[in-house]
A and B are shown apart, each in its own frame.
Chain A
């Protein structure tokens, strides 16, 4: 019983936050509801740490199932039996720590960022609900539990993208994310159904055991299952061809972008693939598809990120690109590397998003130029410049020192400069890819260089040079609620890679993460640290960053405003138009859909269904117009009719005898 309670505690705390803030949020006030929500996440983090300690005390062998608890039987229909069960093993505990840990920092940051927002408590209701749902996703002990969390985080994502729904573009972005995700989810559900029909169970333990025992016998089915699951992952983790929702999702408040659309939810697809690696390993075709899709997504998103002007859009495409890295890692069988990159990416991308939020907040809310003293964000009522456009920034390095330094650290980590976190995980993925699939390797290699370039382009445009707008000129540093999480995340972005998976047999324990994950992911071939490759990529990253710095120093400053990449011509057009993906979807899906809808509404509904309904109504009305004449209102005529009726009846009885 105590185990049951202990396992669900991390899920329960944020749920308490949801309930309290839903009902008493307004009464608690801004400070109260923000602090309470953060406290609940802190408690959830604490509960996760306790679980980590318990888990460490368990025997660390392959095939151990960690801590598990089945609270009650949930669905029992025929042979399908799904308990409401949670399981905490070496993989899920890592994600739990990231979700609650990074989540806590982002909650604290949001108390500053959302200051004076008119729907402040509601924001924290959604944020807490998200933490809870995401924990269900990673802690569930069956595919169905994962799916429950999977859908719940989708809901939270929808609610939070459209949080400032009074602006139509925000609510449309939310809807787009929701619809695109549903497409992936349909495949995911089909995959789950196929798992059940093939193995007769949905619990991880039973399914994976059956896969291992039956092996080749079920290989064909597993191939289909994994492909369907992967389509689900392309939706949630924004891979080609379903990546279009994530950049639009930046319409949400920046803490949401950091938490949901960079650090946690979008990595659900990678978690799912790592979790079911037993099945993916049995399906070489799927593995190739996964690898190539991941690589292509990484490259395409990386190219698009080169030419974006919106500070958050750059990060959004960068996130898609980095997710591509993780997916590609899963595709080449390097699940540890994928999880490793997931962890480091959570640190530095959350940092970058929060940093960009700090910049946007600074530009939008500085005391000298703020056009509205109390209104929230959202921009709808904001006069003046677009606070997210990097063309209006510049020179913020001296004005926002903490934000600048932490942002630079995050950027260097993203670019893969040693010894920051991103370097180690990206290197591990590249080494694994080079050993198994050269196409994937080259896609990722090019992307790695592009990453360094667009990162430096952004840093140069935002922080260096002279301010290019009055707002940027008067920007001041954000408050401590926002800068402290930045500093903490920056520390993790520096040391995260070294501490988590140090590849050498010296000083620190080597391959800590790989060994830690062995009970879940099995004894994988440990990717050896390749000095040559690491050296080349570090050098390339630094060269690309230097190139970006000097190119934009020369051609984009307060006097000259020329995008140097425009010289690339058609490639530039392709990149700045986002590979025309949205346009392709508009032509292939949206316009035909609208056409169908118009036909159904104007022709079939109006002339078919409405005609029947109106016809019945009209017929009844006409009949009653005739029949009302009978009702004269004269008692005596009713009496006469009655008499005649009686006479007829009597005649009937008399003459038919």
Chain B
């Protein structure tokens, strides 16, 4: 079996774990971490396919994703910190003011 398959399978598992984390966790920081996990699963898939096709595009995309993720972390953490300061909690289920 082609080792690529294992890598993609690992990527899929990581992604699934991330999704489950986002859907089941209530702590904003953990949700955030799960999102990071999903991003890295995607990075892994990119790298695997780049190696498979012998092209650099996928690896280049990974750098982009990492940059965006870094920016996202900065903004996201800042938001979470602010929310915690005002509400003394990071539970996302408490944040339902915009309920219809």
Chain B contacts with A in 72-95, Cβ cutoff 8 A: 92-93, 95
User: A630, B100: Cβ atoms under 8 Å?
Assistant: yes
Q: Shortest Cβ distance from B81 into chain A, in angstroms?
A: 17
A435 proximal to B (CB < 8 A):
no
User: B92, A635: Cβ atoms under 8 Å?
Assistant: yes
User: B99, A631: Cβ atoms under 8 Å?
Assistant: yes
**Distance, CA A337 to CA B92, complexed state (A):** 98
Categorize the interface residue count of chain B: 10 to 19
User: A635, B95: Cβ atoms under 8 Å?
Assistant: yes
Tell which of A632, A636, A643 touches B26, judged by Cβ atoms closer than 8 Å: A636
With both beta carbons as reference points, the residue of chain B lying nearest to A635 in the complex is identified as: B92
With both beta carbons as reference points, the residue of chain A lying nearest to B25 in the complex is identified as: A636
User: B100, A631: Cβ atoms under 8 Å?
Assistant: yes
User: B98, A631: Cβ atoms under 8 Å?
Assistant: yes
Contacts of B99 in A (CB 8 A): 631-633
B2 proximal to A (CB < 8 A):
no
Q: Shortest Cβ distance from B25 into chain A, in angstroms?
A: 8
Contacts of B95 in A (CB 8 A): 633, 635
Contacts of B97 in A (CB 8 A): 633
A560 proximal to B (CB < 8 A):
no
B19 proximal to A (CB < 8 A):
yes
Q: Chain A 612-644 against B: per-residue CB contact (8 Å), 1 yes, 0 no?
A: 000000000000000111111111100110010
Tell which of B19, B22, B93 touches A634, judged by Cβ atoms closer than 8 Å: B93
Q: Using a Cβ–Cβ cut-off of 8 Å, how many residues does chain A contribute to the interface with B?
A: 13
Contacts of B93 in A (CB 8 A): 634-636
**Distance, CA A16 to CA B15, complexed state (A):** 84
Q: Shortest Cβ distance from A654 into chain B, in angstroms?
A: 14
Chain A contacts with B in 280-315, Cβ cutoff 8 A: none
User: B92, A629: Cβ atoms under 8 Å?
Assistant: no
**Total of A-B residue pairs, C-beta within 8 Å:** 35
B23 proximal to A (CB < 8 A):
yes
User: A633, B98: Cβ atoms under 8 Å?
Assistant: yes
User: B19, A633: Cβ atoms under 8 Å?
Assistant: no
**Distance, CA A137 to CA B76, complexed state (A):** 77
Tell which of A629, A633, A639 touches B96, judged by Cβ atoms closer than 8 Å: A633
Quick one: given A639-B22, A643-B19, A643-B23, are A634 and B92 in contact (CB under 8 Å)? yes
Contacts of A629 in B (CB 8 A): 100
Contacts of A636 in B (CB 8 A): 22-24, 26, 31, 92-93
User: B96, A632: Cβ atoms under 8 Å?
Assistant: yes
Q: Chain A 463-494 against B: per-residue CB contact (8 Å), 1 yes, 0 no?
A: 00000000000000000000000000000000
**Distance, CA A635 to CA B92, complexed state (A):** 7
Contacts of A635 in B (CB 8 A): 31, 92-93, 95
Tell which of A627, A639, A640, A643 touches B100, judged by Cβ atoms closer than 8 Å: A627
Q: Shortest Cβ distance from B30 into chain A, in angstroms?
A: 11
With both beta carbons as reference points, the residue of chain A lying nearest to B19 in the complex is identified as: A643
Quick one: given A634-B92, A634-B93, are A639 and B98 in contact (CB under 8 Å)? no
**Distance, CA A181 to CA B99, complexed state (A):** 62
**Distance, CA A361 to CA B77, complexed state (A):** 86
Contacts of A640 in B (CB 8 A): 23
**Distance, CA A633 to CA B91, complexed state (A):** 13
**Distance, CA A643 to CA B22, complexed state (A):** 10
Q: Shortest Cβ distance from A394 into chain B, in angstroms?
A: 82
Q: Shortest Cβ distance from A634 into chain B, in angstroms?
A: 6
Q: Shortest Cβ distance from B77 into chain A, in angstroms?
A: 16
Q: Shortest Cβ distance from A134 into chain B, in angstroms?
A: 66
User: A634, B100: Cβ atoms under 8 Å?
Assistant: no
**Distance, CA A636 to CA B19, complexed state (A):** 10
Contacts of A631 in B (CB 8 A): 98-100
Q: Chain B 11-34 against A: per-residue CB contact (8 Å), 1 yes, 0 no?
A: 000000001001110100001000
Contacts of B22 in A (CB 8 A): 636, 639
Residues of B within 8 A of A (CB): 19, 22-24, 26, 31, 92-93, 95-100
Residues of A within 8 A of B (CB): 627-636, 639-640, 643
A631-B98, A633-B100 are known; give 16 further A-B pairs, CB within 8 A: A631-B99, A632-B99, A633-B96, A633-B97, A633-B98, A634-B96, A635-B92, A636-B22, A636-B23, A636-B31, A636-B92, A636-B93, A639-B22, A639-B23, A643-B19, A643-B23
Query: Can you list 24 contacts pairing A with B, beta carbon distance less than 8 Å?
Result: A627-B100, A628-B100, A629-B100, A630-B100, A631-B100, A632-B96, A632-B99, A633-B95, A633-B97, A633-B98, A633-B100, A634-B93, A634-B96, A635-B31, A635-B92, A635-B93, A636-B22, A636-B26, A636-B92, A636-B93, A639-B23, A640-B23, A643-B19, A643-B23
